[in-house]
Chain A
């Protein structure tokens, strides 16, 4: 069990460019989550899928952010027209029941 796999681990983008972050959940887990971590805000919930269906995206910024789960083996978080304030560590997690397993995160830096 390799755990939740996130790629890339680090990404640097120029302001205005698009960034796509990838997540491979643990095989067999039905729920996938995205969180964002910054120094100021801490860990914030972004969005949640269950059995590939979007359930709750209440934490997602209304513009420029989108998440998909095209199949049970991966999810993506896409940020269009990145801004410096998008710089953060983005965490993906998956769960089968009450225990949530986190990946190591993708550190996004927008310059």
Chain B
């Protein structure tokens, strides 16, 4: 089946420093899956941070970026300078877009980002 592996556990970064959360995927039944980063801020529901549906393209939102690399099957999340408000749990995910059925997200286990002042 399909799977997503991301940096597990907790990542602690000092404010204004750079961040990378690794994500690799395995899509055995999908040639070119859609790739997503979701985020859950404290007390909030899971929400979409960014998505990329075309291999080779980069998505960006709120200063975060991720590039869809089909050669390395990776979709790492990066930010040049984090802020305390970025503290949250980040999830990498993929879905199947074949036949227009863009559903059944497969998630990684999540990475808790803590940004310290």
Which A residues fall within an 8 A CB radius of B? 3-4, 31, 33, 35, 42-43, 45, 48, 55-56, 59, 91, 93, 95, 97-105
In the complex, which of the residues A3, A48, A102, A104 contacts B104, with contact meaning CB atoms closer than 8 Å? A48
Stretch at the interface among B17-25, B47-55, B72-80: B47-55
Which of under 10, 10 to 19, 20 to 34, or 35 or more describes the interface residues of B? 20 to 34
Check A100 against B34 for contact (C-beta < 8 Å): no
In the complex, which of the residues A42, A55, A97, A104 contacts B102, with contact meaning CB atoms closer than 8 Å? A97
In the complex with contacts A42-B108, A98-B51, A33-B44 CB distance below 8 A = no
A98 and B53 alpha carbons, distance in the complex (Å): 10
Is chain A's binding surface mostly helix, strand, loop or mixed? strand
> CB-CB contacts of B22-49 with A at 8 A, as 1s and 0s?
0000000000001000100000111110
Check B108 against A98 for contact (C-beta < 8 Å): no
In the complex with contacts A42-B110, A43-B91, A100-B105 CB distance below 8 A = yes
